[in-house]
């Protein structure tokens, strides 16, 4: 197995509010996601160190990008976040590895900076109860 950079994300798509897959990776400048697990402390008084068990799996993501209001691009996908309550599949593929959880986006925040640039941020959380897994 070789070490790799984060260059050449082959797939980064998000469903629109109707469930149609939209490839918007050209509008995304950076993103972060996490697949944390809950942890329960199960330490008894007979222990001198923590004892824990893993609980539920989760997924969170924040996409950041450039405003693009062409049909099927980022603004078209996220403009319905405030008015709809639908889970959207987010598909990320890099180096043949894919993760595709169902996500509820909680905001579509636009920023017009002092230099005139118009960017957006869209945070989302796991919606489906299905463990986010790489394939």
Any domain includes 16:
yes
Residues 27 and 60: their CA atoms lie apart, in Å, by 20
Q: Give residue 37's pLDDT band: very low, low, confident or very high (50, 70, 90).
A: very high
The reply to whether 5 falls in a domain is: no
36 within domain boundaries: yes
Q: Give tens-digit pLDDT for 47-101.
A: 999 999 999 999 999 999 999 999 999 999 999 999 999 999 999 999 999 999 9
* Residue 103 within any structural domain of the chain: yes
**Radius of gyration, alpha carbons of the chain:** 18
Asked if residue 40 belongs to a domain, the reply is yes
Would 113 be classed as within a structural domain? yes
Give the integer Cα–Cα distance in Å for 95 and 101: 18
Count: domains in the chain: 1
- Of 4-13, 25-34, 91-100, the least confident: 4-13
Report yes or no on 96 lying in a domain: yes
Residue 29 located in a structural domain: yes
Say if residue 1's pLDDT is above 80. Answer: no
**Percentage of the chain surpassing pLDDT 70?**
99
Which domain does 67 fall in, by range?
Answer: 11-126
Q: What global pTM score does this model have?
A: 0.91
């Amino acid at each position: 197995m070789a070490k790799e950079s984060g260059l050449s994300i082959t797939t980064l798509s998000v469903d629109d509010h109707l469930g149609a897959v939209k490839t918007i990776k050209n509008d995304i400048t950076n993103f972060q996601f996490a697949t944390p697990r809950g942890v329960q402390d199960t330490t008894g008084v007979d222990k001198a160190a923590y004892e824990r068990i893993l609980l539920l799996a989760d997924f969170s993501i924040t996409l950041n990008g450039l405003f693009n209001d062409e049909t099927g691009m980022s603004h078209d996908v996220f403009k319905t976040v405030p008015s709809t309550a639908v889970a959207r599949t987010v598909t990320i593929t890099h180096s043949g590895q894919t993760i595709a959880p169902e996500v509820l986006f909680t905001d579509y925040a636009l920023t017009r900076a002092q230099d005139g640039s118009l960017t957006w941020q869209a945070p989302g959380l796991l919606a489906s109860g299905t463990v986010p897994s790489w394939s």
